[in-house]
A and B are shown apart, each in its own frame.
Chain A
Amino acid sequence: MTNILIQGLALSGLYALVAVGFTMIFSVGRVLNLAHGVFLMLGGYAYYTAVQVFGISKGAGIAIAVLAGAAFGILTYTVLVRRLEHNPIAVEISTLILAVVMQALIVVVYTSAPKSMWPIVPGVFRHEGVFVSHNILAAMVLSWIVLGGLVVFVRRTRLGRALRAVSMDRKGAVISGIDPHRMSLATWAISGGLAALAGVFFATYTQLTPGMWVAPLIIAVAVVVVGGIGSIVGSLVVAHLIGFMETVTTTLVAAELRGVFTMVLVIVVLVIVPKGLFGREEL
């Protein structure tokens, strides 16, 4: 029981971190970023290059990854999304093409050989035959801090309130003098940075491969769909629902059915409660 609790919490924290940037972009810009997984992948590869190839310190490596993610977010928004913003489907398609291009680019630069990364926080936590790496505990704590910080940011700061205003009522926000494009730009930058951060942890957990963007995208889609697209709190809760479901499936039911259950959950929720369990389309 204890191990399910600890491991479920840890995995859920990671999933929440993976999904939150995806939620933000939908909430503010009403578009899905199918290149979200690529943001994670870039974060992972940037960290790997900085720390394991050039030997820079881990802290600086994380900073570089986050900056790279934010920069790529800004780039994606200004070059691609801004032109197509009136057409959400076009944004989805073009970000999907972007993802495939980036995957090919990673293959060219890094080859398709998988690479594993050192844990950011080494060591193992043991308790009555249960073992959890410090690394994933760190990811869990970090995700709480980041998500908590995000809620405070959205509710308390000027920029955050403006973002929230745009996500609730775009026209209203424009009337009150908020520039929605600047807000979108900020969202893409924040989302890119958060995704890259998540990517660093995700990659220290699994491995770096050019195809690694698909798994986090599916996780983000699952979390966000079930939670209700656009709701941060909903995403948080559902990340835990899915994280625990996976842990329970792997431990108690049958490890090979892990992915099947998640997909069934997504389909059932979309068909029965299309707006998700917490379906409010605002931050």
Chain B
Amino acid sequence: MPLARPLLGWLAFAVVMCLVPVFVSTGTVRILVFANFLAIFAMSWDVISGRTGYISFGHPFLIGIAGYTTAMLTYHLDTPLWLSIPAGVFATLVGGTLFLLPALRIRGTYFALVTLAFMELMYQLTQVIAPKVTGGTRGLSGIPTIVSGAIPNYYLTFGLVFAIGLGLWFVLRTRIGAALAALRMDEGAVAASGLSTIRLKLFAFMTSAAVAGIGGAFYVHYLGSIAPRGLFDINFLFTILVAALLGGSSTVAGPILGAYFLTFLLEYLRPYLPGPERYVIYGMIALVVYVLEPRGLHAILRTGARRLAPLLARRRIAP
């Protein structure tokens, strides 16, 4: 019984999202596709950083590994997608293990910096090592896509968001989720209570990497091209971080909410401010919201709902 209401929520979410393309233009649907990808990346980031407190500044590194692996396999070797995408995800899991190594010893700011260094290193390496294979600074273009057109891509990516979101929600509502939160609060206490912090971290990192890998691989096959400047970039990192945090970290709905908010904010400014001013306003809004409420839109809307609820209830009671 306690499961019924949230599951109903998820169901309603799915139904509404499935109906969206009926009501909006394909231009809006295209924006939603990008929002869906950002939601996947933000959810992935949140598993590792929102839950356990290990702030990752290197998420583009994980996303990029999957993207590059599947892009190179399909572009050069004509590997079928059903093989190259899992290969990309697997490569990201290996990359996630690389993240785990420093996390065994350091946390907080130090961990954030080492992951940032991973991203920078990857940016340098794609250019220096075998530019013929990676496409060097220009990247690769003409990578096969899975489906084409706005609406099929929308359903594909929303399917991913929904599956990943629901999956994460199921896993994180169990004791594992609680243990990860405990890890964020006090790692020592978790270790003292007899749980293996290494295994917990391994779980969080692998889950995060798998989600990032799935997102990254599908992302590249949606874009049809890949370039280091579009991936291993501080602006990309910024978008992922801000989506998760602005939406509300440590929740499943938060990162999705943040991703939709950010993507639409930027796109809806376009007709009014086509030029570079757009990014100033966009960044300012993100900054103001974040500084006023670091727990994010999720918390703002919940507080709003809580304040609104008694008012509505009173009205209902009063004849």
Contacts and interface: CB of A to CB of B under 8 A. Distances in A.
Q: Are any A and B Cβ atoms less than 8 Å apart in their complex?
A: yes
A262 to B, nearest CB: 9
Contacts of B124: 259-260, 263
Nearest to A217: B234
Contacts of A256: 127-128
B224 interface: no
Interface stretch (A54-62, A103-111, A149-157, A187-195): A103-111
B13 interface: no
B245 A93 contact: yes
Nearest to A37: B234
Interface in B176-226: none
Nearest to A272: B105
Contacts of B109: 32, 88-89, 92, 229
Interface in B119-136: 120-121, 124-125, 127-128
Nearest to B233: A214
Contacts of B294: 84, 87, 90
Contact of A271 (B105, B245, B286): B105
A221 interface: yes
Nearest to A105: B280
B117 A97 contact: no
Interface string A168-192: 0000000000000000000000000
A94 B121 contact: no
From DSSP, what is the main secondary structure of chain A's interface residues?
helix
A100 interface: yes
B279 interface: yes
Interface string B274-287: 01110110111011
B12 interface: no
Given A84-B291, A266-B114, A274 B106 contact: yes
A93 B290 contact: yes
A150 to B, nearest CB: 23
Given A94-B291, A107-B279, A221 B116 contact: yes
Interface string B220-258: 000000000000001100100110010000000000000
A97 B286 contact: yes
A96 B276 contact: no
B4 interface: no
Nearest to B120: A263
Contacts, number: 108
A104 B294 CA distance: 22
A115 to B, nearest CB: 16
A33 B114 CA distance: 16
B276 A108 contact: yes
Interface string A70-108: 000000000010011001111011101110110011011
Contact of A221 (B113, B128, B286, B291): B113
A266 B283 contact: no
B125 A270 contact: no
B101, B117, B279, B282 — most chain A CB neighbours (10 Å): B117
A130 interface: no
Contacts of B280: 101, 104-105, 108
A224 to B, nearest CB: 9
A233 interface: no
A256 B127 CA distance: 9
26 contacts: A80-B287, A88-B109, A89-B55, A89-B108, A90-B294, A93-B245, A93-B290, A97-B238, A97-B283, A100-B238, A100-B283, A101-B279, A104-B280, A104-B282, A108-B275, A218-B120, A225-B110, A257-B128, A263-B120, A267-B118, A270-B102, A270-B106, A270-B113, A270-B114, A271-B101, A274-B105
Given A92-B55, A263-B117, A267-B121, 4 more contacts: A88-B109, A89-B109, A100-B279, A267-B118
Closest 9 CB pairs of A and B: A101-B283, A104-B279, A263-B121, A274-B106, A270-B114, A104-B280, A107-B276, A266-B117, A97-B287
Interface of A: 32, 80, 83-84, 87-90, 92-94, 96-98, 100-101, 104-105, 107-108, 112, 214, 218, 221-222, 225, 229, 256-257, 259-260, 263-264, 266-267, 270-271, 274
